[in-house]
Amino acid sequence: MFVIKLGYNYFHMKRRNFLSNIALAGAGVLAGTTVASAAACSAPAKPFRLDYAPHDGMFKNSGGDDFLDQIRFMYDQGFRSIEDNGMMGRDVAMQTRIGELLARLNMRMGVFVIDKGGNGANSLAAGKQEYIDIFLNGCRRAVEVAKRVNAKWLTVVPGDFVRNLPIGIQTANVVDALRMGAEILEPHGLVMVLEPLSDTPNLFLRTSEQTFEICRAVNSPSCKILFDVYHLQRNEGNIIKNIDLTWTEIGYFQVGDVPGRKEPTTGEINYKNVFKYIYERSQKEGKNFIVGMEHGNAHPGKEGEQALIKAYRECDSF
């Protein structure tokens, strides 16, 4: 009896385990299908035609507060570059982690600002040695930062007008300082990009024509124009024509719509046409510009971030 009872329990348990395993297997198949579907839904989006570069905070609601997580989110949305004006202010460990992540994702590092590379407090237009020394020290430190994050382009703003000097003298002072900066950067393949701004009428550098003239005078592959469409729409307009006129000295683009300095489609600039011109001419000449997204988000939260991505998809569909 004992043996018979044991056999019954044994086979009863085996049958119960068998049925349980079938149920688990079925659930596993369903789960696998769900996971596969989720993976398919979360696959990285197709890269954009132009190489747009978001910045820290632009996708914090979707990607999280950690800039590294935001970069991963940017990649998944189809972006293949970033920019970070404040990179020189980050600690070495973070700079290194950013550089390593960009390398793993095969993304490019766009501009960061050369610390104290010319501003209202130490304008290069003044020609003062103490200001020049501050600028050149910034260039030297920028070389080390660029190595960590594999950067090539460094933003320089020469600073304010000096009202007691003739404009020609100020221009010569800026050219002299930039030539010295180029001597530091050129051996490392780095390019300072000069940005004409519209923030205040006190700024020395205001137009693409003026910046073109200075780059020609510096006469170095390490000194080019940062053509920020937002600022130059405010200062001079006629965007595509001025891109054409200064094209040979342009090293980098940035964008933002006018008024408001938000994403394309929120203002008056026809960015689809602007992007089409940049893309088609770049294709003909074998260039691959980064287009920095130096603007805010028109709407808050995740919904605003999705609206921003949608706007770039629309303007990139030329």
Helix axes 271-285, 239-246, angle to 10 degrees: 20
How far is the C-alpha of 8 from the C-alpha of 27, rounded, in Å?
29
pLDDT of residue 310: 98
Is the separation of the CB atoms in 305 and 297 below 8 Å? yes
Query: Is the previous residue joined to 47 through a cis bond, with omega within 30 degrees of 0?
Result: no
Q: Tell me the pLDDT tens digit for each residue of 263-293.
A: 999 999 999 999 999 999 999 999 999 999 9
pLDDT of residue 9: 40
pLDDT of residue 250: 99
* CATH value of 45-315 in 3.40.50.720, 3.20.20.150, 3.40.50.10890, 3.90.180.10: 3.20.20.150
How far is the C-alpha of 227 from the C-alpha of 212, rounded, in Å?
10
Q: Tell me the pLDDT tens digit for each residue of 19-39.
A: 344 343 444 433 333 333 333
pTM, two decimals, is 0.86
pLDDT of residue 36: 35
pLDDT of residue 43: 80
Is the separation of the CB atoms in 173 and 127 below 8 Å? yes
pLDDT of residue 120: 73
Is the separation of the CB atoms in 278 and 289 below 8 Å? yes
Token pair belonging to 13: 């348990």
In whole angstroms, how far apart are CA 52 and each of 55, 132, 165, 291? 10, 33, 39, 5
In whole angstroms, how far apart are CA 259 and each of 122, 129, 267, 300? 30, 38, 6, 18
pLDDT of residue 118: 64
Low-confidence ranges of the chain (pLDDT < 70): 1-42, 117-118
Is the separation of the CB atoms in 229 and 256 below 8 Å? yes
